Amino acid sequence: MTVWINGISQLGVFAAILLVAGILGAEEAQVNALNLIACPDCGEQVSRRALMCPDCGCPGEAVAEEVNRIEDARKPKAVVNLEAPAGGGPAVAVEFNRQKYVLTTLAACGSAASLSLETVTGESVFYHTIEVALNAPLVRLAVNSDVIVYLKVSESGESVAYLDESGAVTDIKSQAIATLDAAGKLSAIKESKVFYAVSPKIHWDRVQPAAFRTQMALLSDLRAQAADRSIDAVTLKAVKSAQWISQSVKTEAERIIGETENKGTPR
């Protein structure tokens, strides 16, 4: 009996040793994986601190640049991806009076049948209220997330740099989704080819989600028909009878109709 018990005890110790070894091995493998990146030239795994790639000879300077690029891509950004039917695109995280928002445009909201936000690194961001600017085609979604960076809003309104869809500052206007002032504060956001000024003085109307979706769907129908240079009578009637949630939404609808009338006659 004693021999049997001792055998069991020895097996238990052996199993424990194997378990610890497995854990340590997994941790070591994880550490090694974190220390390796894909070589920017050949794609093979190479140490982050390599003086050169052992497979293709890529110099250490290029490897270090790739490491910096990867680490920068993992940092929180002030840009959030908005997904919406018949819309979507990059949006900007901003702070108004210590409140956090994601700022976008009416057009980017599409039909608003469903709206979802995601960081450039793939993390979900949830919003809880919707507000529409009174005199500009802008929308802000109130959020409370620590995985994004929030820009302050410019008081000067000047634009000296651009923000691209990856959240990087650029001097190339064609790649811009927004403009920044000299202090790095948000001064304007782009919709199509137009930059709309963003300022602390903008008046915002909080809207009910159901009413917002209804009117965004109407705007979406207008845009689709305007693309065919003809708006049907049913849609025109809906526009004329709508109880608009904000003056800016009404103005956007009238703008679409006006541009369509200049190109063709509504049927």
35: helix, coil or strand?
coil
Residue 250 phi, psi dihedral angles, 5° rounding = -60, -45
User: Across the beta sheet with 161-164, what order do the strands follow?
Assistant: 169-170, 161-164, 176-180, 186-191, 194-197
- Reported as a single tens digit per residue, the pLDDT across 39-69 is 999 999 999 999 999 999 999 999 999 888 8
pLDDT digits 0-9 by tens, 93-115: 999 988 999 999 999 999 999 99
Does residue 234 register a pLDDT over 90?
yes
Burial class of residue 24 (count of CB atoms within 10 Å of its CB; 0-12, 13-18, 19+): exposed
- Domain 79-205 bears CATH identifier 2.40.10: yes
pTM of the model: 0.74
- pLDDT at residue number 70: 80
Mean pLDDT of 123-128: 94
The tokens describing 103, both together, are 């700022």
Distances (CA, A) of 81 to 17, 120, 171, 181, 259: 48, 7, 21, 23, 29
Distance of CA 240 to the CA centre of its chain: 34
Average pLDDT, the chain: 86
Structure-token pair, residue 80 = 């959030």
Domain boundaries, the chain: 34-74, 79-205, 208-263
Q: Measured between alpha carbons, how far is 177 from 173 in angstroms, rounded to an integer?
A: 9
pLDDT tens per residue, range 185-209: 999 999 888 999 999 999 999 999 9
pLDDT at 3 over 50: no
Confidence of residue 86 (pLDDT cuts 50, 70, 90): very high
